[in-house]
Amino acid sequence: MIDKQSKFTKTSLIVFTAGLIAVSVIAFISISSILFPNTGVNDIEEAKDIVEKYLVALGNDFEIEEIMEFSNHFYIIIQEESTVVNAFEFLVDRYTGSISYEPGPNMMWNQKYGHMARVNNPNASMSIDSQQAYIYAQEWLDRNYQSTSVEELKVFYGYYTMDVSRDGRIFGMLSVNGFTGEVWYHSWHGDFIGMEEYK
């Protein structure tokens, strides 16, 4: 036989705990705007300054290769100065200025700096060359985003990343795995605004 009093007490405790958590979250959000004021990033130069300060902590072999501004954030390619190979990709939040590693291929396919870092002696040589990667990318675009085309290709450890254009303007971005040919479209950027290349 179920003890109704015990059941009521457990339910009340759950509701009370959930309410306490909700109130705490709301209070934190309200206070966080005072403790951590919005440091919105207004342009590419401000994003560059944020990333350069961050790179100091990572060592002296990294430099910015390119910054692209999108409606959702700033996208940054980081290159190894010693090898001139693109190392990884950052995102800078345009509202808070926070830096994060780009999701997707940058984390999953990167054989030196991502989850695939366990690969011995990673290098930029891949079984699928850049020409074939272009073909895989364009075939994928023809099936999924008609009237778009593959543009400039960037080489990373284990994959390629390419800009996608439509009517002569950057429309998006995708990556191609350098060993399987798998295509991963970057759906998180938003609308393209502008870019600066530093190499």
- Residue 151 CB neighbours (<10 A): 14
Taking only the tens place, the pLDDT of each residue in 115-163 is 866 666 677 789 999 999 999 999 999 999 999 999 999 999 999 999 9
* % the chain with pLDDT above 90: 71
Domain ranges, ordered by start, for the chain:
1-37, 44-197
Distance CA(130)–CA(154), nearest Å, equals 9
Cα–Cα distances in Å, from 26 out to 33, 38, 84?
A: 11, 17, 46
User: pTM for the complete prediction?
Assistant: 0.78
The DSSP secondary structure of the chain, one letter per residue, reads: ---HHHHHHHHHHHHHHHHHHHHHHHHHHHHHHHHS------SHHHHHHHHHHHHHHH-TTEEEEEEEEESSEEEEEEEETTT--EEEEEEEETTT--EEE-STHHHHT-TTTSTTTTSSS--S--SS-HHHHHHHHHHHHHHHSTT-EEEEEEEBSSEEEEEEEETTEEEEEEEEETTT--EEE-TTS-SEEEEEE--
Task: Kindly state the tokens that stand for 107.
Answer: 């984390």
- The pLDDT of 93-118, averaged and rounded, is 90
Q: Name which of 92, 130, 85, 135 is nearest 111 in CA terms.
A: 85
Taking only the tens place, the pLDDT of each residue in 156-189 is 999 999 999 999 999 999 999 999 999 999 999 9
